[in-house]
Amino acid sequence: MATIREDGKFDRFRERFFEGVNRYRWLATLGAGGVGTVFKALDTELDEVVAIKVLSPNIERDEQALLARFKREIQLNRKIKHPNVARMYDYGVSGDYPFITMEYVEGKDLWDLIDERQRIPPAEAVPILRQIVRGTGAIHRLGILHRDLKSQNVIVDPAGAVAILDFGLARGEYDQSLTLASMLLGTPQYMSPEQALGQELDERADIYSIGVIAYEMLTGNVPFWADSPVAIAMKHVTDPVPDHLSRFPDISPGLRAIVFRALEKDREKRFSSADDLETELALLEQAPRQQRETAGERIGAEDEIVAALESAFNSIVLPRPARDQAVDPPRPPAAGVPGPLVLVVQDDVRELLKTATAICSVGCRTLETRNGQEALEALMKDSVDLVFMDVDLPRIDGFDVTRILKSQPALAALPVLLTTSRFDRAQLAFAVQSGATDLLPRPFPEGTLGPRLWQVLRHQGFVPPRQFQHDSEPRPTLHGSPRPPDRRERS
């Protein structure tokens, strides 16, 4: 949202609004967009800071339709339980002003972050992008499309954790007809060709918008700009995407290929799901961020231990895996060939055996160790196909073990699935920044372990057992004829 200059008229609006909601006390004005203003406020009953989105007082509106829209936004959001999606709490009316209360996320929106820094280098951009994709995937699994994914709807906190905001345009399968004629739907700079043409939408429309966000982070600009919203939207339909990514030597060919595949005009050529896109991003040979800090404090293992282990690894030349996943297509295993080898790392013996048994039951072999140092020693001696590791390990935790592995050219492509009993936004951010392929909650939701393991292993060239070869869930198909709104122009 744009920063606004508060004047007497705006002050009177703000005062009238908060007079009607005595529960909340104004703390700051966060910004204003085309249809609303967002305040930072204290919920005095719960003693918690929240964000309040209020419809701007100068917009003509259909009150009943707007209330229906706000209620629908709350209903959709409450279905979503994911760290990368900001929570919504309630909705109401203060005087003439409908509003929504939502989680306040400390940080900057991605639009401002890009504007401030000009571009985000890949080592930071990929973890941010992965979190956007993961949150979007959680939305899609519930049959919901966001339909207005853009950098302004993404908050990045100081530790690099991401929260997706604003479900005002989201539409679920249960509600195909609710519209608001006074609202302009979609943002042209991020709009897929099919959305610009008013065609039926599925999750690949959101994937295209994510491709635009990726392009914007890596280059500093959206791919298309023109003098009017309609002209911008039509460029998405007709014009080839400018290859500005090739101008930056830190953008690998693999990352460039992923962005351009997400931006395919023909949606059949895009990633079929957010999960597929996230897996490709997770398996990029991308150098991890070198530090994990929040509020100036080191998190994780002692620096000396990590440095010593990293130094030991750097002194050893490990051969690269023989399988070239970029060239060799998956082939069915020959009769009698054992399944992929998974290194399982957990401190608790009973949990270690339980996890190893579960992994073996889905067609893999396992090698077990109990701490990070043993895991690194095992990887020096054995060629494994995937690491399945708990975050909470003695002396050196799973995040730092992953970072060490990803810093080694011979092991950079090795998938690492981390598990944690504390599955929250900060943990997920640390996981993707360290280079982990995934972070899974522990205990694992029933029926999720095998499909996730084989989704990753399939990208590594393995053919899964028959029970894991089924296609992904059907895509939600949503109808509508979105019209692009104005958006503030980049200076």
What's the CATH number where 271 sits? 1.10.510.10
The span from the CA of 267 to the CA of 245, in Å, is 21
- The partner residues of 108 in beta bridges, in order of sequence, read 156
Between 142 and 178, the more confident residue is: 142
The span from the CA of 124 to the CA of 323, in Å, is 28
Rounded to the nearest 5°, which phi and psi values hold at 2?
-75, 145
Amino acid 490 reads: R
pLDDT digits (tens, 9 = 90+) for 276-292: 999 899 988 765 655 44
Pairing of strands 416-420, 386-390: parallel
Domain containing residue 353: CATH number? 3.40.50.2300
Q: Is residue 46 located within the same domain as residue 121? A: no
290 in a structural domain: no
The span from the CA of 74 to the CA of 69, in Å, is 9
Q: Which residue has the tokens 């504390």?
A: 422
The span from the CA of 206 to the CA of 215, in Å, is 14
Domain containing residue 30: CATH number? 3.30.200.20
Q: Is residue 90 located within the same domain as residue 131? A: no
Between 87 and 367, the more confident residue is: 367
Q: Is residue 344 located within the same domain as residue 251? A: no
Q: Is residue 316 located within the same domain as residue 339? A: yes
Q: Is residue 89 located within the same domain as residue 120? A: no
Exactly one of 148, 166, 202, 397 is catalytic; name it.
Answer: 148
Is residue 396 predicted with pLDDT exceeding 50?
yes
490 in a structural domain: no
pLDDT digits (tens, 9 = 90+) for 97-106: 888 888 998 8
Amino acid 264 reads: E
Parent domain of 86: 8-103
The span from the CA of 132 to the CA of 429, in Å, is 11
288 in a structural domain: no
Q: pLDDT-based confidence at 273, cuts 50/70/90?
A: very high
148 tagged catalytic = yes
Taking residues 125-140, report their average pLDDT.
94
Taking residues 1-5, report their average pLDDT.
54
Q: Is residue 99 located within the same domain as residue 139? A: no
Between 180 and 368, the more confident residue is: 368
Is residue 78 predicted with pLDDT exceeding 60?
yes
Q: Is residue 270 located within the same domain as residue 306? A: no
Between 195 and 294, the more confident residue is: 195
For residues 204-243, one letter each, b for 16 or more C-beta atoms within 10 angstroms of the residue's C-beta and e for the rest, the string is: bbbbbbbbbbbbbbbbbbbbbeeeebeebbbbbeeeebee
Q: Is residue 338 located within the same domain as residue 220? A: no
Q: pLDDT-based confidence at 317, cuts 50/70/90?
A: very low
Q: Is residue 238 located within the same domain as residue 358? A: no
1 in a structural domain: no
Q: Is residue 394 located within the same domain as residue 459? A: yes
pTM for the structure as a whole: 0.79
For residues 256-281, one letter each, b for 16 or more C-beta atoms within 10 angstroms of the residue's C-beta and e for the rest, the string is: bebbbbbbbbebeebbbbbbbbbbbb
Is residue 3 predicted with pLDDT exceeding 60?
no
CB hemisphere CA count around 162 (13 angstroms): 28
Q: Is residue 112 located within the same domain as residue 227? A: yes
481 in a structural domain: no
486 in a structural domain: no
What's the confidence (pLDDT) of residue 172?
Answer: 47
Q: Is residue 309 located within the same domain as residue 251? A: no
Q: pLDDT-based confidence at 293, cuts 50/70/90?
A: very low
Q: pLDDT-based confidence at 302, cuts 50/70/90?
A: low
